Structure 1
Amino acid sequence: MKIFETERLIIKTLESKDQSHFTELLSDPKIIAPIPQPKFTEVQLLQKFQENLNLTVSDLQKERSICGIFEKGNPEMIGLCLFLTNDEKDKELGYRFRVPYWGKGYGTETTKGIIDYYFNTLQVAKVTADVNIENLGSVNILKKFMKPVKEFFNERDNCTDRRYEIEKENWLY
């Protein structure tokens, strides 16, 4: 099921054919190092994939939902679009891409699309994003749309995160 689309991308629910790329996106050291993220076991990867298969729009209101990102005209999943809830119960966005799709502007395009979807479809008042301050690619994307509001040590991931946010009344797109 299509969730939303941008100029070049379609964000849609995961299907069984997406499992290998899903696993890559959650286990490739080049992808997870900048986040950083603990390594998942094969069982955990399979469970996360199954939990996110064939989501409905109402599932996007849950604490954590993962959808696939696809280039228009390309059947292979190129990334993940995450609908999250942070520790303060605010809606949070997330994304990641397979390495061959880095540096093409897809992170910026996806971020704009997720924020727009949160505000105009899911009708939330504020959207946040937490990023490892050393993940300069994502820092540069987030500061295009959101303002930094705090930095904190993320014990789980053993890094310093910066929280960005934007309120619906400040969304100009």
Structure 2
Amino acid sequence: MDLLLETDRLILREILLSDAKALFEMDRNPHVHQYLWNKPLTDIAQTQSYINSVRKQYMDYNIGRFAIILKENSMVIGWCGLKYNTEMINNKVNFYDIGYRLNENYWGKGFASEASFPWIDYAFNIMKLKVVEAAVHQANQASNAILQKIGLKITNQYLEDDILWNWYELNNPNRK
């Protein structure tokens, strides 16, 4: 993909296979997966498979999660971006969601919302999407706060595997 997004502190660029080590370090942390079915990764091959699936999204839908790079030291600290979902979630299919994941060392510093704002702008002003959606574990207070900070609103809740999830939506303010 020929896309690069920037904020004051971050560069958002496509995820590369060379990012596998940094993303594996993030995803093997049990705290990072506390609200993701408590299944941290155990092998870097799982990260490489994830990267390949993201890169396939780039080719198939011209969108996907992007690496979050700290400008001050060029470190990969996580990922953020839009995903075109083709799997059923909350009785919905074929929708765009916004998501993010950060290395625990970078939690609580505003990076997730900072990385998400340019994606909301891109979704509405470049892609002209009608709505951006997201699902978050109901107990994940930090992630719920981030989605609210970037403007999404809870529209309902649903159960998946006996876990209560909040469903968020943000309608494009430029479309009626």
Fold shared per TM-score above 0.5: yes
Whole-angstrom CA distance in 1 between matches of 2:5 and 2:50: 22
**In the alignment, what sits opposite 1:166?**
170
Alpha-carbon spacing, 1:152–1:170, altered in 2? closer, same or farther (3 Å)? farther
Which whole-Å CA distance do the structure 2 matches of 1:71 and 1:16 have between them?
A: 18
CA distance in 2 between partners of 1:164 and 1:47 (Å):
28
- State the partner residue of 1:29: 30
Residue 69 (structure 2) aligns with? 70
Q: Distance in 2 between matches of 1:28 and 1:167?
A: 34
Question: CA–CA distance in 2 between the matches of 1:146 and 1:70?
Answer: 24
1:32-71 Cα offsets, whole Å, 9 max, x none, are: 113345344534332112333597586444xxx3320012
Equivalent runs, 1:68-147 vs 2, <5 Å: 68-86=67-85, 87=88, 88=92, 89-144=94-149, 145-147=151-153
Q: How many residues align?
A: 166
Query: Hey, what's the Cα distance between the residues in 1 that align with 2:27 and 2:168?
Result: 23
Mapped partners of 1:170, 1:159: distance in 2 = 34
Q: 5+ residue gaps in structure 1?
A: none
Residue segments in structure 2 that go unaligned for 5+ positions in a row: none
What does residue 152 of structure 1 align with? 158
Aligned to 1:16: 17
Supply the RMSD in Å over aligned alpha carbons: 2.5
SS across alignment from 2:132: strand
Rounded to whole Å, the distance in 2 between the matches of 1:82 and 1:32 is: 18
Could you say if the C-alpha distance between residues 132 and 107 of structure 1 is closer, same or farther in structure 2, counting changes exceeding 3 Å?
same
Length-normalised TM-score, structure 2: 0.81
